[in-house]
Structure 1
Amino acid sequence: MASRVSLKSKGKAGKGSKSSNEKSSAQCFKEWSTWAIKKAKVVTHYGFIPLVIIIGMNTEPKPQLYQLLSPI
């Protein structure tokens, strides 16, 4: 026999409380935005220096790679 899962919200459903749909959509948005920001941080962290090198290689006058990477 399969057991049923109840999706009843716990607590009192007071006068100013939100429905479960609004809470779940807000929670879903919060989780999605947190996930997106974490991924954006990783992309920015590992992509910044290669982006600078690519932009530097496409400017005039065209420098060599060792000229871009040297500290002088």
Structure 2
Amino acid sequence: MLTDLLAAGPPAAVTDELDRVLGIIAWLVTAAGVMGLLIVGFRMSLSLRSGDGRYHMTQFATVMGACVIGTTAGPIVQFLL
């Protein structure tokens, strides 16, 4: 009986709402990633103009890592459901 209940999965109303929330979060993560890359690029261009452009690759890598984590979170959650 418990295995039948677990095999049935969540009701459709729950997954529809969860899909909507995941979609909104995915758009927010995309917007935050683009904004983060624009900010890092702007700061990098200002530093290169003044001759000090060595320290921004870690910031760029951090933003890109956050983008990868945010991008893969939605498909992982949908796979688990």
TM-score range, shorter chain: 0.3 to 0.5
**TM-score when normalising by structure 2:** 0.42
Structure with higher helix content = 2
- Which protein has greater RCO, CA pairs closer than 8 Å, 6+ apart? 2
**Considering only CA atoms, is the larger Rg found in Structure 1 or Structure 2?**
1
**TM-score when normalising by structure 1:** 0.47
